[in-house]
Amino acid sequence: MKITDVKTFVVGNPWKNWVFVKLFTDEGITGVGEATGGLQTRPNEVAVHELRPLFIGKDPRNITAVWDAMYKGIFLHHSAAVSGIEQACWDILGKSLGVPIWQLLGGKMRPRIRAYANGWYRGPRDPKFFAEAAQAMVEKGYTALKFDPFGNAYRFMERDDERLAISLVRAVREAVGESVDLLIEAHDRFSVSTAIRLGHALAEFNPMWFETPVMSTDIEGTLAVARQVPIPVASGERFTSLEQFAALLAGKVVSIAQPEVLSIGGISRMVRAAAIAEAHEAFVAPHNAQSPLCTVVNTHIGAALPNVLIQECFDDTNAEWSRRIMTGLVEVKNGYIEVPDAPGLGVELLDDEMAKYPYGDRNFLRLFEAGWERRETR
C-alpha cells in the first residue's frame, strides 16, 4: 500500500479555523486527521502540502517510518501538520485491519472516559451568567467544568478584576454544588508571584486543578507555583518534546500532565508522553481545544491508556453545525465519552457540508483582548 495524494480542508469554526487532512492510497483506503493551529491556519494547511515529498509513495501502515521521515526531513522538527498526517496513517492502518485504533494501541482499558466541558461560558464576565451557564452544562450530564475567570489579564491583575475573577468561581461553585469538579484555566497568564497568590485564593473552592498558571514552557516557574499552592497544578499542553514532560514530572509536585496530540507530534507520541507520566505516578488529562475529530482521536488514545484521568471536550458547546461536517463522532453521555468500535478512527469527512463554512480571517481566539470569552467572530 502506498500514499498517493493528500487533501486539506479548512472549516471556519468561529473562534478557531479547523484544518483537516485526508490521505489517499493506491488501494482505495483513505485516512483522516487534524492539523488545526490555535492562532494560525494557512501556515498549517500549507505545511501539510509542503511535506508531500516526505510521505507520498510511502506505506502509511509503517507509521513510525513515515513520521521519522517527516521529522528528519524538516531537520528534527514536528508540527500540527506532521501530527495530522500521522493520525491519518493510523486511521488507514486501522481500516486496513478492520479494527479501531484503540485496539492497535493495546486494547480497551475502559468502555468510556470521563469528560469535562469547556467553551460553555460564552458571554459576559458576570457571576449570574457564569452560574446559569454552569448549571446548564450540569443539566447536560457533565460532572466537571473548566473555565478561565481571569479576563484578559497578563502577568498581573488589578485588584478589582481579581475580585471579579474570584466571584465568578464562587458563583459557579455555589450554582453546581460540591459534587461537580471545577477546573480553573489560567492560559499561561501570570507571573509566579501572582499565580501563587491566586492559587491560595482559589483553594476555598476545592478545584480539581489550576491549569497553566504561568508560561507553560517555564517548567521551573510551574514547579515553583506547584510547591507553594494548596491545590493541584496541571500543565503541558504546549509541550513539543517528551523531555519537557520528563522534566515537569520529575519534580514530583505536578502529577497531572496535559499533552496535546497536535503539539506533541501525534498519536504515538501521546502514548509515549503518557508512559513518562506513568513512570512518575502521574495522570494524563489530554488537552483538546480542537474539533470533534480531535475528540475522537483522543478517545481512542484514552481508551488504551492506564493513567488517563479525564478528557477535555468542546463538542457540546461548539457551533451546532459542527456535528454535520463529519460522521462517526463520539457523544458525551452522563459526563462520559463512549468509546467507539468502528475500524480506524471511524470518522469520515463530508466535503459538501464542510464547504458551507469557509475560512474566516477573524476566526481566532485572542486571549489577551477584552471580551475573548464570548468567542464571537469579530
- pLDDT digits over 144-170, tens only? 999 999 999 999 999 999 999 999 999
* pLDDT beyond 80 at 376: no
Give catalytic status of residue 287 as yes or no. yes
Mean pLDDT (the chain, rounded): 97
Q: Distance between CA atoms of 376 and 133, rounded to whole angstroms?
A: 17
Enter the C-alpha cell of residue 357: 463554512
pLDDT single digits (tens) 97-122? 999 999 999 999 999 999 999 999 99
User: In 3-state terms, what secondary structure has residue 332?
Assistant: strand
CB 53 within 8 A of CB 83: no
* pTM metric for this prediction: 0.96
Q: Is the pLDDT of residue 377 over 80?
A: no
**Cell numbers standing for residue 348:** 469520515
Domain with 71 in it: 3-100
Residue 169 inside a domain? The answer is yes
Please check whether residues 108 and 120 belong to one and the same domain: yes
pLDDT digits (tens, 9 = 90+) for 52-90: 999 999 999 999 999 999 999 999 999 999 999 999 999
Please say if 300 is a catalytic residue.
no
User: Which of 49, 78, 287, 300 is an active site residue?
Assistant: 287
**CB-based contacts of 55, cutoff 8 Å, min separation 6:** 3, 6, 66, 69, 70, 85
Query: Do 212 and 320 share a structural domain?
Result: yes
> Three cell numbers at 341?
468500535
Q: Is 319 within the bounds of a domain?
A: yes
> How many whole angstroms separate alpha carbon 221 and alpha carbon 300?
33
Taking Cα atoms as reference points, which of 314, 307, 262 lies closest to residue 285? 307
Rounded Cα distance between 226 and 90, Å, is 36
Domain count, the chain: 2
Same domain flag for 139 and 95: no
Residue 331 lies in a domain: yes
For residues 66 and 134, membership in a common domain is answered with: no
- Choosing from 49, 77, 78, 187, the catalytic residue is 187
Residue 378 has pLDDT above 80, yes or no: no
Nearest alpha-carbon partner for 203 in 179, 231, 184: 231
Note the pLDDT of residue 38: 83
Q: Which residues contact 376 (CB under 8 A, 6 or more apart)?
A: 14, 15, 122
**95 and 111 together in one domain:** no
Question: Going by DSSP bridges, is the β-strand pair 256-257/283-284 parallel, antiparallel, or unpaired?
Answer: parallel
For residue 56, what pLDDT is reported? 98
State the Cα angle at 290 between 3 and 275, rounded to 5°.
Answer: 75
Question: Which percentage of the chain shows pLDDT scores above 90?
Answer: 97
Q: What is the pLDDT of residue 374?
A: 82
